[in-house]
Amino acid sequence: MSFLNETFVGGVDEAGRGSLVGPLVVAGVSLPISRLDMLVSAGVKDSKLLSPSSRAKLYDLIVNVAEKVYAIEIAPKEIDKYVLYGKRLRKLNYLEVEAMVKVIREICAGIVYVDSPDVKPERFAENIMELLHSDVKIIAEHYADKKYPIVSAASIVAKVTRDRRIKELEQVYGTIGSGYPSDPRTVAFVRSWLE
């Protein structure tokens, strides 16, 4: 997509894949190519490399600088349905394909970089294009959140959105940690609930 001859570039990433608690969040960001330098100079990088306070500040900057920011949340119940009952090649990766297609439609970019969870990024891109029915150029790569600032921006939006949901859950259930199985607080929370 272009506006007055300027191409819009988009990035899509997720947060919450493999978590025990909380949603999977898929987020997208788009902006004119001329604004990409603003992300780089502000220090936008993969959300996993940033502190929570840095992510929060950069989130605000991204929302102000971007043309479009869009995130969707996928509830654990929906994830379980795909993982437990999905057909071969129609499980968690395909759920992400469907979510990313919704996000890509909303961010209105001519070229979109995607962080691929699939071992075959080209297959992931093909699955997106099959559902997208558009001439948007999709580039899916491993570690796109580290390679492309626009995907790093989407990574930050996804992570901050997910962190906010976890905080909301903690208001109801008490300390649950990050929601990931690597977090002892999350494991303790899940164990106590099961007991």
Nearest-angstrom CA–CA distance, 186 and 189: 5
Sort strands 2-3 and 111-115 into parallel, antiparallel or unpaired. unpaired
Record the tokens describing residue 172, joined without a space: 């109801």
Cα angle 80, 48, 160 (rounded to 5 degrees) comes to 65
Percentage of the chain exceeding pLDDT 70: 96
Record the tokens describing residue 159, joined without a space: 């992570």
Q: What is the pLDDT of residue 89?
A: 67
Q: What is the pLDDT of residue 2?
A: 44
Q: What is the pLDDT of residue 88?
A: 74
Nearest-angstrom CA–CA distance, 160 and 2: 28
Nearest-angstrom CA–CA distance, 133 and 149: 26
pLDDT tens digits for range 113-144: 999 999 999 999 999 999 999 999 999 999 99
Question: Average of pLDDT values for 23-43?
Answer: 95
Question: Average of pLDDT values for 68-96?
Answer: 90
pTM assigned to the model = 0.93
DSSP labels, 181-193: TT-HHHHHHHHHH
Inform me whether the pLDDT recorded for 90 exceeds 90. Answer: no
Record the tokens describing residue 77, joined without a space: 């119940």
pLDDT tens digits for range 164-181: 999 999 999 999 999 999
Cβ neighbours for 94, distance < 8 A, ≥ 6 positions apart: 82, 86, 127
Q: What is the pLDDT of residue 5?
A: 46
